């Protein structure tokens, strides 16, 4: 019995590499991929092939130029991860309380005659501690204190000067978990600004981008477990110099996010803590004068 067992073990040891290679070569099973991933991969390859055909047709002048432009537009629509327009406001109608309906929680907001949502707040003076500049730990602690105080105005009226926190205006609008945000703004004489997406009526949970001249741009995740700085980096330019700047912030379905300032990539970060859609979008003025000329938020299907 022992001899037979030893022979069997020997034969298995010799034959295993050949059996394994043969079995793999003839196997009718492959690596499994979720159906959604397979669909996305197939669509991606199809769009790549279509782009190549359009380029070849343009070089050979094999089709009507207008037809090729229509094809390119079609490719762009289907290759855009955020094809659903959710929020688009340039405040050109002079009224931020109607289509869409923004609500002021604190601070002072109005639409300028020459365009843009203008904001002033005295939060800068009330929040200063001597001449010391705020760093990321201070900002995270401030936000946590604001959330714990629960002192946010839900009535839509201008908040009193005693109310804590920076000037805030928000828009209740369902936003998909994957989103694309673009904001054109200008600011001066201030301590910075914030923008973000939130979950819940208290607007206390979600992601925020915060800019301060001292600390640069911070990407924060605010959850019931606390506040965490996911990424930080200083832009190449001072963003409160009175000039217009454009900020873009994109989040993909896999949680990967990237932020650009004036079309220059600033950083990337990945976070998968939030899986559900968001309930709205809000802006904050941390002190001084801020003008938001346009806000656009697009989402995924």
pLDDT score at 77:
65
When mean pLDDT is compared across 59-73, 133-147, 210-224, the lowest value belongs to 133-147
pLDDT score at 23:
44
When mean pLDDT is compared across 15-29, 187-201, 235-249, the lowest value belongs to 15-29
Confidence of residue 58 (pLDDT cuts 50, 70, 90): confident
Q: CATH homologous superfamily for 84-299?
A: Exo-inulinase; domain 1 (2.60.120.560)
Higher pLDDT, 150 or 209: 209
Alpha carbons within 13 A on the beta-carbon side of 64: 3
Higher pLDDT, 75 or 259: 259
Angle 36-42-48 from CA coordinates, rounded to 5°: 135
Interval 280-293: pLDDT, tens: 999 999 888 999 99
pLDDT score at 55:
80
* Region 266-275 average pLDDT: 96
SS3 187: strand
Alpha carbons within 13 A on the beta-carbon side of 165: 27
pLDDT at residue 33 tops 60: no
Higher pLDDT, 113 or 141: 113
pLDDT score at 17:
45
d(CA 97, CA 89): 11
Q: Where are the domains of the chain?
A: 37-79, 84-299
Taking the CB of residue 217, how many other CB atoms lie within 10 A of it? 21
Taking the CB of residue 25, how many other CB atoms lie within 10 A of it? 7
Interval 178-202: pLDDT, tens: 999 999 999 987 889 999 999 999 9
Q: Which long-range contacts (CB under 8 A, 24 or more apart) does 48-54 make?
A: 50/75, 51/75
């Amino acid at each position: 019995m022992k001899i037979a067992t030893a022979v069997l073990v020997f034969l298995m040891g010799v034959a295993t590499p050949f059996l394994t290679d043969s079995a793999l070569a003839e196997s009718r099973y492959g690596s499994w991929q979720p159906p959604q991933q397979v669909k996305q991969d197939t669509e991606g390859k199809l769009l790549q092939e279509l782009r190549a055909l359009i380029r070849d047709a343009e070089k050979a002048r094999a089709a009507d130029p207008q037809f090729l432009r229509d094809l390119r537009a079609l490719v762009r629509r289907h290759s855009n991860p955020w094809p659903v327009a959710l929020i688009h406001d340039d405040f050109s109608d002079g009224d931020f309380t109607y289509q869409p309906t923004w609500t002021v929680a604190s601070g002072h907001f109005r639409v300028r005659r020459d365009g843009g949502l203008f904001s002033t707040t005295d939060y800068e003076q009330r929040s200063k501690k001597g001449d010391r500049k705020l760093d990321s730990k201070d900002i995270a602690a401030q936000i946590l204190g604001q959330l714990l105080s629960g002192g946010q105005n839900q009535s839509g009226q201008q908040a009193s000067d005693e109310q804590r926190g920076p000037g805030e205006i928000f828009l209740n609008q369902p936003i998909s978990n994957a989103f694309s945000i673009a904001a054109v703004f200008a600011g001066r004489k201030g301590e910075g600004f914030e923008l973000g997406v939130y979950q819940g009526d208290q607007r206390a949970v979600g992601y925020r981008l915060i800019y301060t001249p001292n600390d640069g741009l911070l990407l924060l995740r605010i959850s019931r477990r606390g506040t965490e700085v996911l990424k930080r980096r200083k832009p190449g330019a001072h963003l409160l110099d009175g000039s217009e700047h454009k900020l873009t912030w994109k989040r993909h379905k896999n949680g990967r996010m990237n932020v650009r300032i004036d079309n220059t990539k600033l950083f990337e970060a990945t976070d998968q803590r939030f899986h559900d859609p968001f309930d709205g979008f809000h802006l904050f003025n941390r002190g001084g004068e801020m003008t938001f000329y346009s806000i656009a938020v697009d989402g995924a299907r």
